[in-house]
Amino acid sequence: MREFEIVCPLNREPRLKEIEAKAAGCKWVLKKRSIDARKEPVWRYQYEAYDTGEVIEEYKIPEYQDVHDSPAVIVVGSGPAGMFAALKLLTLGRKPIILERGKDVHERKYDMAQLSRNGIVNPDSNYCYGEGGAGAFSDGKLYTRSSKRGDIREVLHQLVAHGANRNILIDAHPHIGSDKLPTVVENIRRTITEHGGEYHFNSKVISITRADGEEEYAVRTADGKEYRSAKVILATGHSARDIYEMLHKAGGKLEAKGFAMGVRVEHPQEKINWCQYHGTWKPGIPAAEYSFVEQVDGRGVFSFCMCPGGILVPSATEQGTIVMNGMSNSERNGKFANAGVVVQIEPEDVKGEDPFRLMDLQSKVEHDMFDYCEKARIEAARPHRKAKDEQDVPQNPMAAPAQRMEDFCLGKMSKKMPETSYHPGVVNAPLHELLPAMVVQRLQKVFPRVKMRNYYTNAALLIGVESRTSSAIRIPRDPQTLEYLSLEGVFPCGEGAGYSGGIVSSAIDGIRCAEQAAK
């Protein structure tokens, strides 16, 4: 086997005669494509060529078994970790019983619409909770550095088998799109149920107990039902505080875990295109992305979950808080680009020993964002207010505090808000006062030195707060068996347990936990 590469302009793909000339009569396979924008932007296609007699190894998904009458494993949560744990259990001859506090992927859309249009938060069905988890409506980015933890091919091929575009198998930065993911998620559920697995929606877990001498756990849900199994996989996502409190109340071990906090940064997409493509972008060329990582005063500052051509969405899981996220449809053809830009916060940055201390900080800032906007709404409703002297304040409870980028770095209020993709609207606010000082000081240093023309500009809008980057708590588990240190036979899994971040790494962790649970 040998490798070769073909470089093409962005407006076309390699021609067959180009590939065959490079392959020199050998069988060939396309392995990867990427955009190289270091100079003139081009496509780079990487191939493998095989001589006659050499075998091309084609990946095949492990075969599903009929598990209607097989031993059960309870899976709490149906985000990426839970779904892929369940798929893996099918291949291992175990029956997954999935308990999901939220609704199925289509029904939860109505609750998200209520959240965006009217500011009504359903605490069990929103952008974080429900079938598909937080990743189902945030672009579906599949890029990960977690290749050493498991076989990424199993995740990508499962997604393709359930309806994702085959391009995710070769793209350097694959994504599915928030408009396509619900169908993929629904197809995964169909596979699981057709082979004997079970789904139970609106089934919020409130206790996991096992009496002395018993082999099975009793998992009880808020609707009064009980499910029993010797093994339980906890895949509840990074926002399920009630699960941490349930474990803590029962005497279980928890650890404070570092997370990152900052803002969503929104630019006009044309500015990012112009910069990344050196002024050569044309219709039909993919919307440009960006990423950066800096070290500032001993902490990482980095871009996170970049959404080209995307929109901003409210991701609060409880009333009285503001939480931001971004999403893109598969075409990524919106007017704006957005990304989280966040500062790493470690357990030693917050005094105390309480494992909830970082999550308490997270919650406080989310409430502070809401409280500022609520006061602005109350003030705007007073009769003496002169509309001509002040900007209009949106009345949607999910309206978020915002500030122009240069104004934030200079520590001054913005005079006027630019257009934004955020449907509930924004409130002119001093984010440099609302965010923790350790976050503000580092962001103020980073923005002016990002090595992208047009990035540091007052045309960019900062919106707070981006705080659900990962779990602020870890559920400690044995590094070999992956079992919770406090409950044998319970497997904390994915982002909510503190062992992954993003769709693919969570899916890989779900697969690993399923393998251990099936032993």
CATH topology of domain 72-254+475-517: FAD/NAD(P)-binding domain (3.50.50)
Burial class (CB in 10 A: 0-12, 13-18, 19+), 161: middle
Residue 389: which pLDDT band, with cuts at 50, 70 and 90?
very low
Residue 387 pLDDT > 80: no
Percentage of the chain exceeding pLDDT 70: 96
Name which of 69-83, 149-163, 315-329 the model is least confident about.
Answer: 149-163
Mean predicted lDDT score pLDDT of the chain: 93
Question: Residue 157: in which H helix or E strand, if any?
Answer: helix 152-161
Residue closest to 314 by CA, chosen among 80, 128, 439: 128
Dihedral sign of CA atoms 498, 499, 504, 510 in order:
negative
Please give the residue that has the higher pLDDT: either 471 or 212: 471
Task: Specify the pLDDT at position 454.
Answer: 87
Residue 404: the pLDDT is 98
Mean pLDDT is lowest, of 134-148, 242-256, 344-358, for: 134-148
Lowest mean pLDDT among 45-54, 191-200, 239-248: 45-54
pLDDT average, residue stretch 369-391: 78
pLDDT beyond 50 at 388: no
Question: Does 145 have pLDDT greater than 90?
Answer: no
The model's confidence at residue 147, banded by pLDDT at 50, 70 and 90, is: low
With 70 as the cut, is the pLDDT of residue 391 above it?
Answer: no
pLDDT, tens digit, for every residue of 415-457? 999 999 999 999 999 999 999 999 999 999 999 999 898 899 9
Amino acid 326 reads G
Residue 320: what pLDDT? Answer: 96
The pLDDT of residue 424 is 96
| Domain parsing of the chain, residue ranges | 2-50, 72-254+475-517, 259-466
Order of strands, sheet of 226-229, starting from the edge strand that comes earlier in the sequence: 205-209, 217-221, 226-229
How confident is the model at residue 25, as a pLDDT?
86
* Residue burial 384-411, b: 16+ Cβ < 10 Å; e: rest: eeeeeeeeebbebbbbbbbbbbbbbbee
Closest residue by Cα to residue 458 from 268, 188, 226? 268
Average pLDDT of the residues in 486-511: 94
